[in-house]
Amino acid sequence: MRAWVIGAMAVAGATLYGPTAVSPSFAITLEEAAGSYRVADNSQIRFSVDQVGGGGIAGQFATFTGTLQLNAADPSRSVVVFDLYPESVSTGQQRIDDFLRSAAVFDTAHYDVVSFRSIDVRLTGPDTAVVHGIVTARGKSAEADFDVALTGEGPGSLQFRVTGDIMRSPFGMEVGTPIYSNVVRFDMQLETMRR
Amino acid sequence: MRLRNDREGYGSVSIGLHWLIAIVFLAEILLGVAMTRILPETAVATFWAYQWHKSFGLLLLFLSALRLVWVLVETRPVDLTGHGSALAAGVVHRYLLFAPILIALAGWIIVSVSPLAIPTFAFNLVVVPHLPLVPGDEAERRAIAVHRWLAYGTAIIVAIHIAAALMHQFLWRDGTMTRMLPRRRQSAGNDR
């Protein structure tokens, strides 16, 4: 019997395996995929915040680091560590970037990192998982879930799409609500390379 | 209590609109100065100062438009001065009738052409759409200049208006100013 590893992930991390090849599954076994990965610089960390009346702010973070430990024996014990540097935020509008970096939002002068540490990984399908963990920003922590889907694999690399909604208020970053939504939608493409 | 004007004086609608607009205009000037010159550029308080400024600006636009219609359909009380100042008063009054409308529209243009595209959510109740204009940094700068100088210029005209009202009251003692005060004060204060 053949095991297919299918997912793992990102600001999250996980893996899965199903008994047979369901459509988007990948020809790599969990045993083969197990190990330690780092998030490569060509990953994309995009986010958006909706606003009343339609539209919103969209941007990305250019600087981040992350690692993924895929546990073959027990995928739920896989570990994801991810740090992003809010100083690297860009929305295409300098004034909005400055505001996001200021004490009104990220306060990058005092808190240079927004971190994610996984607690557990739950497989939800042949190539999907939910990674549960703790987000820390501005010195405050809150639990968060990210949905992870394996989207590709190559020699020594795995690609994941990671999505998740994070509330701003637990971190004291709720400025602008209700004009701007309290929810930040993350949509990330993570390229991970075996270490 | 009489709502409408007559040849003798102003009705409650005219008096009420005058003072509501006066209060909101003063608050807008103070808020405008605070948010652009006193508060730091990036702060939670600054963000909300701008949003309140936009909300009260729209209220000012609404009240001023109402007042313009009311002035057009209403009787104008007779001039009490007999000092030849009626012409100057007429010019100032007409200017102050239109100025808040123009200033508020200029403000609405700023938020509409600003590349920041911050929604206008008046009093966190009503989404007021942007005007159909093309956003751009240069357009925003020009709209800000027009808005600012119209507002500061109008504040100077208002100061002249107040000084003139006080002269009518204390120098010429002709009862012109008390006509615009709330009714009860009017009967007590008008010594004609």
Q: Rg of chain A over CA atoms, in angstroms?
A: 17
Q: With an 8 Å Cβ cutoff, are B115 and A98 in contact?
A: no
Rounded CA separation A124/A9 (Å): 12
Its sign, for the CA torsion B21, B22, B23, B24, is positive
* Domain housing B18: 12-186
- B119 and A51 within 8 Å at the Cβ level: the answer is yes
In a domain, B83, yes or no: yes
Structural domain contains residue B7: no
Q: By the 8 A CB rule, do B34 and B76 touch?
A: no
Q: Residue B191: inside a domain, yes or no?
A: no
Rounded Cα distance between A93 and B24, Å, is 32
Q: Which tokens hold the place of A157?
A: 């690399």
B33-79 pLDDT, tens digit each: 999 999 999 999 999 999 999 999 999 999 999 999 999 999 888 88
Rg (CA), chain B: 19
Domain with residue A128: its CATH number is 2.40.128.110
Q: How far is B96 from chain A (nearest CA, A)?
A: 33
Average confidence score pLDDT of chain B: 92
Q: What is the DSSP pairing of strand A4-5 with strand A17-18? A: antiparallel
Digit-coded pLDDT (tens) for B80-91: 876 667 888 889
**pLDDT confidence of residue A6:** 35
A91, closest residue in chain B (CA to CA)? B116
Residue A53 has its nearest CB partner, among B47, B51, B119, at B119
User: Which residues on A lie below 8 Å from B116 (Cβ)?
Assistant: 93, 95-96
Helix (H/G/I), strand (E/B), else coil: A120? strand
Where does chain A have alpha helices with state H?
30-33, 94-101
* H or E segment and range at residue A109: none
Range of the domain at A181: 4-194
Task: Read off the pTM.
Answer: 0.86
Residue B5 inside a domain? The answer is: no
Structure tokens at A173: 């970053």
pLDDT, position A23 = 41
Report chain A residues touching chain B, CB-CB < 8 A: 51-53, 55, 93, 95-96, 98-99, 102-104, 175-176, 178-179
Residue A11 above 70 pLDDT? no
Among A17-21, A105-109, A110-114, B3-7, the minimum mean pLDDT is found in A17-21
Is B85 inside any structural domain? yes
Q: What is the CATH number of the domain that holds B165?
A: 1.20.950
**What pLDDT, in 10s, does the model give residues A160-194?**
999 999 999 999 999 999 999 999 999 999 999 99
Residue B6 placed within a domain: no
Residues of B in contact with A179 (CB under 8 A): 51, 118-119, 121, 124
Q: How many domains does chain A have?
A: 1
- CA-nearest of B15, B14, B17, B37 to B151 is B37
Residue B63 lies in a domain: yes
Instruction: Quick: pLDDT tens for A112-146.
Output: 999 999 999 998 988 899 999 999 999 999 999 99
Structural domain contains residue B138:
yes
What's the total number of domains in chain B? Answer: 1
CA-CA-CA-CA torsion sign (B126, B131, B136, B142): negative
Secondary structure class of A100 (helix, strand, coil): helix
What pLDDT, on the 0 to 100 scale, is given for residue A43? 98
Amino acid at B23: I
Q: Which residues of B touch A93 (CB under 8 A)?
A: 115-116
Q: Is the pLDDT of residue A5 over 90?
A: no
Q: Give the C-alpha separation, B88 to A69, whole Å.
A: 82
The pLDDT-based confidence of B191 (bands split at 50, 70, 90) is very low
The answer to whether the Cβ–Cβ distance between A99 and B44 falls below 8 Å is: no
Per the CB < 8 Å rule, is B119 touching A103? no
Q: Is the Cβ pair A96, B116 closer than 8 Å? A: yes
Task: Test A98 with B127 for CB contact under 8 angstroms.
Answer: no
Q: Give the bridge partners for A4, in sequence order.
A: A18
